[in-house]
Amino acid sequence: MEFYNQAARAIDQVDSKHGSLKSIVFNLATKMKTSSKQAQNGSAAKARQVSDGKRLLRVVAETLRYRQVIESILQAVDVLNSESKIFGKSSSSQSKTAISKQANRSQHPQAQSLILILVHDHLFSSRGISLSKIHKIRLAIERHSSALKAELSRLMVRQGVSQVSDLIDSLKRAGSDSPDEESSPTIVNAPRWMRVNTIKWSLEDAKGWLVDAGW
């Protein structure tokens, strides 16, 4: 479970702009617990930290890549509030004092970040959630497995894609495009100026033609 807590802390620190993703992840990896034997063997401990750092970086980077997809799914499947006994109350229902205390306890990552990591592994990792099958955190996510997968399928249908990789690109484009751009494509590609050949027609005729053509 410590691995997922560290991954969630990395998400929190990325959101807070505490440094680059790589520096955040490897700094957290050095703080992960090692066995007593590894602690006695400096080289083995160092190798474990590097291994943990690479794994942590891979999971966090992939979660951030899928973030928009996961957050869209979680808008429909509210795992956080449904499993409040496991993850705690959502930030919207907490007092300002409670939120401040949670933010100051570095050992406790934000519940939203933890759920992002867990849902990523549940939906998109071939290994699934790397916790015991009877772990309460894993069970909390898997209770919503059908709803999560169904919402992912609905999202892909709405976006008109057949692969998750295409869904990521589709949501990014949807987020960057404004309604005005979609409804007025000619304005998006409008030239900054035009040259009028006054030998062939007058300036007023050219303006009239451009207006009629939608420019």
What pLDDT, on the 0 to 100 scale, is given for residue 75? 95
130 and 151 in a single domain? The answer is yes
* pLDDT tens-digit readout, 49-68: 667 778 888 999 999 999 99
Give the tokens for residue 156. Answer: 């892909």
The pLDDT of residue 39 is 53
Instruction: Give the integer Cα–Cα distance in Å for 173 and 181.
Output: 12
Could you list the residue range(s) of the whole structural domain that residue 162 is in? 2-174
Task: State whether 196 and 159 are in the same domain.
Answer: no
| φ, ψ (nearest 5 deg) of residue 167 | -65, -40
Helical H segments across the chain, by residue range: 2-15, 21-29, 36-40, 42-65, 67-76, 79-82, 84-87, 96-104, 111-124, 136-142, 145-159, 164-176, 179-183, 185-188, 203-212
Same domain, 166 and 73: yes
Contacts of 206-210 with C-beta under 8 Å, sequence gap 24+, read none
pLDDT at residue 131 in the model: 93
- Into how many domains does the chain fold? 2
pLDDT number for residue 200: 61
Say if CB 56 and CB 3 are below 8 A apart.
Answer: yes
Does one domain contain both 157 and 188?
no
201 and 153, same structural domain?
Answer: no
Whether residue 119 sits in one domain with residue 23: yes
Q: pTM score, two decimals?
A: 0.68
User: Same domain for 169 and 192?
Assistant: no
pLDDT for res 143: 96
**Are 158 and 191 in a shared domain?**
no
Q: Are residues 90 and 185 in the same domain?
A: no
Query: What's the pLDDT at 88?
Result: 80
For residues 136 and 131, give the distance between their C-alpha atoms in angstroms, rounded to a whole number.
9
C-alpha closest to that of 111 among 139, 83, 88: 88
The predicted pLDDT at position 107 comes to 63
Q: pLDDT tens digits for the chain (215 residues)?
A: 889 999 999 999 999 888 888 888 888 877 775 544 455 566 666 666 667 778 888 999 999 999 999 999 999 999 999 999 998 865 444 444 444 444 444 468 899 999 999 999 999 998 899 999 999 999 999 999 999 999 999 999 988 888 888 888 888 887 655 454 444 443 334 445 666 667 766 777 667 655 554 45
- Regarding whether 101 and 202 lie in a shared domain, the answer is no
